[in-house]
Homo-oligomer: A and B are copies of this chain.
Amino acid sequence: MNIGEASRASGVSAKMIRHYESIGLVPRADRQDSGYRDYGPEDVHRLGFVRRARDLGFSLDRIRVLLGLWGDPSRTSSEVKALALTHIKELEGKARHLQEMADVLRGLSLACDGDERPDCPIIAGLEGGPRLSSRHSRDWPTSHSS
């Protein structure tokens, strides 16, 4: 089958299929006489694997490893699991980081009237002064006059 059909069948864009081939993530596809790439069910299967791994946030580099494990009959499930757990930690670390940023910003936003006047704690927070944290405003000692 042509690349377009393989793309539809696997959910990977033709552009990306070519790219994955160019970086050696997937083997070079066979060619028809026309020069068109030629894919079989196994290729589509592999591309689907890659797509699902991408959907779970794995980097192409890590997918390379996963593909190796996939095709390795002597793999151990502990290798796979270790890779997965590492990835889970990274995902959750990033999720936490994003949520922390959101929380800080929400704290500033709660203090912002959101009216027609220019005064705005959000701008003030960005402007400097106390480090941005997720704590409440009463924990922001703007100055210690003592």
What residues make up the interface of A, taking CB atoms closer than 8 Å to B? Answer: 45, 48-49, 52-53, 55-57, 66, 69-70, 72-78, 80-82, 84-85, 87-88, 91-92, 94-96, 98-99, 101-102, 104-106, 108-109, 112-120, 122-123, 125-128, 132
**Smallest Cβ distance from A120 to chain B, in angstroms?**
4
In the complex the two chains form, what is the Cα distance from A114 to B83 in whole Å?
Answer: 11
Kindly list 18 other residue pairs between chains A and B, CB separation below 8 angstroms, not including A77-B118, A85-B109, A98-B98: A49-B127, A52-B125, A52-B126, A52-B127, A55-B132, A56-B126, A56-B132, A57-B101, A73-B118, A76-B115, A77-B116, A78-B113, A80-B120, A91-B99, A92-B99, A95-B96, A95-B98, A95-B99
